[in-house]
Structure 1
Amino acid sequence: MTEKIKDVAGKSKGVAGEFREFIMRGNVLDMAVGVIIGGAFQKIISSLVDDIIMPLIGLLTGGVDFNNKFIVLDGGSYDTLEAAKEAGAATLNYGTFITVVINFILMALVIFFIVKSMNKLSAKLEKEKEEAPAITKICPHCKSEINIEATRCPHCTSEL
Structure 2
Amino acid sequence: MLKEFKEFAMKGNLVDIAVAFVMGAAFNKVVSSFTGGIVSPLIGLIFKSDFKDQKWIITEGTLNDAGETVGEVAVLWGDFLTNVIDFVIVAFVMFMVIKGVNKMKKKEEPAPAAPAGPSDNELLAEIRDLLKK
Q: If the TM-score is normalised by the length of the shorter chain, which range does it land in? A: 0.5 to 0.7
CA distance in 2, matches of 1:42, 1:23: 25
**AA in 1 matched with 2:14:** V
**AA in 1 matched with 2:48:** G
Contact 1:66 1:98 in 2 (8 A): no
Q: Which is greater in Rg?
A: 2
Hey, what does 1:100 align to over in structure 2? 83
Hey, what does 1:19 align to over in structure 2? 5
CA distance in 2, matches of 1:70, 1:121: 45
**Paired residue secondary structure (2:60):** coil
Contact 2:60 2:73 in 1 (8 A): no
Q: 1:21 to 1:73 in 2, by over 3 A?
A: farther
Please give the per-residue CA displacement for 1:16-70, whole angstroms capped at 9, x wherever unaligned.
23322221111111100000000110111001111111111122x2424222112
Percent same amino acid at aligned positions? 38
RMSD: 2.4
Q: 1:94 to 1:77 in 2, by over 3 A?
A: farther
Counterpart selection for 1:55 from 41, 44, 54: 41
> Of the two structures, which has the highest relative contact order with CA contacts closer than 8 Å and spacing of 6 or more?
2
CA distance in 2, matches of 1:112, 1:27: 20
**AA in 2 matched with 1:75:** E
Q: 1:20 to 1:98 in 2, by over 3 A?
A: same
**AA in 2 matched with 1:67:** K
Hey, what does 1:158 align to over in structure 2? none
Q: 1:73 to 1:119 in 2, by over 3 A?
A: same
CA distance in 2, matches of 1:41, 1:68: 24
Hey, what does 2:104 align to over in structure 1? 121
Contact 2:60 2:72 in 1 (8 A): no
**Paired residue secondary structure (2:99):** helix
* Displacement after TM superposition at 1:90 (Å): 4.2
* Displacement after TM superposition at 1:117 (Å): 1.6
Hey, what does 1:68 align to over in structure 2? 53
Identify unmatched segments of 5+ residues in structure 2. 110-133
**AA in 2 matched with 1:104:** F
**Paired residue secondary structure (2:82):** helix
Please give the per-residue CA displacement for 1:74-100, whole angstroms capped at 9, x wherever unaligned.
43268xxxx54xx36443211110100
1:109 and 2:92 correspond: yes
Identify unmatched segments of 5+ residues in structure 1. 1-13, 131-160
**AA in 2 matched with 1:25:** K
